Amino acid sequence: MNSTLLLRTVYKQVASLLVVLPASMRFHDLKHTQDVFFVATEIALNSEIPHQDILTLQLAALFHDTGYLFDYIGHEEKSKLTAANFLLQEGCPENLIAGVVQTIDATKMPQHPQTDIQRILCDADLFHLAQTDYADYADRLRAEWASNLQKQFSDQEWRVNNLKFMQQHQYFTTYASELLEPGKQQNLRRLFLHELD
Residue 119: CB partners within 8 Å, gap ≥ 6?
106, 113, 172, 173
pLDDT, tens digit (0-9, with 9 covering 90-100), for 7-45: 999 999 999 999 999 999 999 999 999 999 999 999 999
Say what the pTM is: 0.95
pLDDT, tens digit (0-9, with 9 covering 90-100), for 143-196: 999 999 999 999 999 999 999 999 999 999 999 999 999 999 999 999 988 765
Give the three-class secondary structure for 131.
coil
Which residue, among 60, 181, 103, 194, has the nearest Cα to 111 in the 3D structure? 103
Distance of alpha carbon 177 from alpha carbon 8, whole angstroms: 30
Give the three-class secondary structure for 25.
coil
Rg (CA), the chain: 17
Q: What is the pLDDT of residue 60?
A: 98
Show the 3-state SS of 5-73.
Answer: HHHHHHHHHHHHHHCCCCCCCCCCCHHHHHHHHHHHHHHHHCCCCCHHHHHHHHHHHHHCCHHHHCCCC
- Cis peptide before 110, with omega less than 30 degrees from 0? yes
pLDDT, tens digit (0-9, with 9 covering 90-100), for 50-105: 999 999 999 999 999 999 999 999 999 999 999 999 999 999 999 999 999 999 99
Domain ranges for the chain: 3-192
Pick the CATH number of 3-192 from 3.40.50.970, 1.10.1300.10, 3.40.50.300, 2.30.30.90: 1.10.1300.10
Instruction: Tell me: pLDDT of 197 over 60.
Output: no
Start-to-end Cα distance in the chain: 49
